[in-house]
Amino acid sequence: MGGFTATGETYEAALEQALQRAKLPKEALEIHTVGGLGEKIDERHEREEDNTGVTLHVAIRPEHIAESARAALLRILGYMRVRVEVRTVVEGDVVCLKMRSQESALLIGRNGQTLEALQHMLNRMCGRPELGAPFIALDVENYRERRLARLERLARHGAREAVEGQKEVELEVMSPADRKVIHMTLRANPQVKTFSRGDEGDRRVVIAPA
């Protein structure tokens, strides 16, 4: 897990520094001493020993990020009058907000552009990457999973066509991220090679027999 360190002559001073840097209440943070026995600073503090300086390792609780992102998302969608159910799932260094809505098509947008835009806004508004806080990922009814599956299917079909017809197969225009999925899917296939062609905005993956 990411995080940052704060130091001070005393526990209070180190804590003060941590709180000022994070600009968050103590409850939003996970605070540990660095080194030592890994005991919680609170316990150590109670023993009132060692005044030679304290170093804290501080991480923002993923649950705090998840809750603030969820609140911001509900508020944005409230202004848009979109009814939505939002579930938060914390997965390692990613906080995922999973939405369900009658208006999922509006939330996704053409090629997922609206979903990407909402995700970008939430990370700008609620994310704290400079403090090692988790990334905020947004999904609607497993849209990302379904999209990934579709890209992999396109890649495999294209490869079969290229091999069987011994010709180049040009796929539809895709974003850099989507093109990468195609390249990665076929990287281990010795029968074909892949490359991209065209200018950004009209750039496509080409699958050719190896």
Partner 1 sequence: MEDIALKDLILYMARALVDEPEKVEVNAVEGENSVILELKVAPNDIGKVIGKGGQTAKAMRKVLSAAATKLRKKSMLQIVE
Q: Which residues bind partner 1 (CB under 8 A)?
A: 72, 75-76, 79-81, 106-107, 109, 113-114, 116-118, 120-121, 124-126
CB nearer to partner 1: give 1 or 80: 80
Closest contact distance (angstroms) between CB of 121 and partner 1 is 5
Closest contact distance (angstroms) between CB of 140 and partner 1 is 12
The alpha-helical segments, DSSP class H, found in 128-194 are 143-165, 176-186
The answer to whether 202 and 173 have CB atoms below 8 angstroms apart is: yes
The alpha-helical segments, DSSP class H, found in 80-206 are 104-108, 113-126, 143-165, 176-186
The alpha-helical segments, DSSP class H, found in the chain are 11-22, 41-47, 62-79, 104-108, 113-126, 143-165, 176-186
Closest contact distance (angstroms) between CB of 181 and partner 1 is 21
Cα 160 to Cα 49, 154, 209: the distances in Å are 70, 10, 9
Instruction: Write out the two tokens for 182.
Output: 């195609």
**């999904």: which residue's tokens?**
139
Closest contact distance (angstroms) between CB of 194 and partner 1 is 27
CB nearer to partner 1: give 82 or 148: 82
d(CA 205, CA 19) in angstroms, rounded, equals 48
Cα 182 to Cα 54, 61, 177: the distances in Å are 50, 35, 9
Closest contact distance (angstroms) between CB of 205 and partner 1 is 24
CB nearer to partner 1: give 118 or 155: 118
CB nearer to partner 1: give 34 or 76: 76
- Residue 130 φ then ψ, to 5°: -65, -15
Closest contact distance (angstroms) between CB of 50 and partner 1 is 38
CB nearer to partner 1: give 120 or 153: 120
CB nearer to partner 1: give 34 or 72: 72
* List of residues 6+ apart from 203 with CB closer than 8 A: 173, 174, 176, 179, 196, 197
